[in-house]
Structure 1
Amino acid sequence: MSELETLREAAVEELADLWRDLDNARRFAVNGEWSMQCDWLEERIKRLTPLVGPTPWEEIQISLLERGIYQRIHADLGIDVAVDMERVAKVRESIARRGSVRP
């Protein structure tokens, strides 16, 4: 693997980690929705995404999809992402049936 391929792979992994971090930051925000840390993470996501492409929606935390945060951030970048919200709803239903719902 070339150094460029290794760097790209690291950036793709970092981007996926930033989405997880954004979900956690949102959950722990004082108002439960958004914080300055969320703003900072969003800016980092916006810096990396054009370089490596969007993280597949299937790898994104369900609450970010349900609230349209993933979609909004990409729209801000002019990147079209199609999320199968029917599939997202089925995953949420499955989680609810298991009794581990976390909005």
Structure 2
Amino acid sequence: MSGLTRLKAAVRGELADLWCDLHRAQSYAINGKWSMACDNLEERIKLLTPLVGATPWDEIQIPLLENGVYQRIHADLGIAVEPDMERVAECRARMEASAP
């Protein structure tokens, strides 16, 4: 594996972690919507995404897809993403059906 290939894999891994961190930061925000921590994570996502492309939507936390954050961030970058919202809804329904 070349150094460039390893670097791109590392950036993709970091992006996946940043999306997870953004989901967590949003859930901890005082209003449950957005915070300064979210702003910081968004900027880091926007810095790395153009280098390796969009993180696949099926690797993103469901609330970030449902509330449009994933779509908005990519739109800001001029990157088209089209999550399958029907599959997202099906996954949400399965999660809610299995919740205690």
What TM-score comes out, normalization by structure 2 length? 0.97
Unaligned ranges ≥5, structure 2: none
Corresponding letter in the other structure for 1:59: E
Q: Does 1:50 align with 2:50?
A: yes
After superposition, the CA RMSD in angstroms is 0.8
| Equivalent residue, structure 2, for 1:13 | 13
Aligned partners of 1:63 and 1:10: how far apart in 2?
25
Identity %: 63
- Are positions 1:32 and 2:32 aligned together? yes
Q: What letter corresponds to residue 88 of structure 1 in structure 2?
A: V
Q: Distance in 1 between matches of 2:32 and 2:66?
A: 15
Distance 1:37 1:69 in 2: 14
- CA deviation map 1:78-97 (0-9, x unaligned): 10001110110000000010
Amino acid at match of 1:94: R
- Render the CA deviation track for 1:45-84: whole Å, top value 9, x for unaligned: 0000000000000000000000000000000001000111
Q: 1:95 is matched with which residue?
A: 95
Deviation at 1:30, TM superposition (A): 1.0
Which position in structure 1 is the counterpart of 2:4?
4
Question: Mind listing any 5+ residue stretches in structure 1 that lack a counterpart?
Answer: none
State TM-score, norm by structure 1. Answer: 0.95
Matched, 1:74 2:69: no
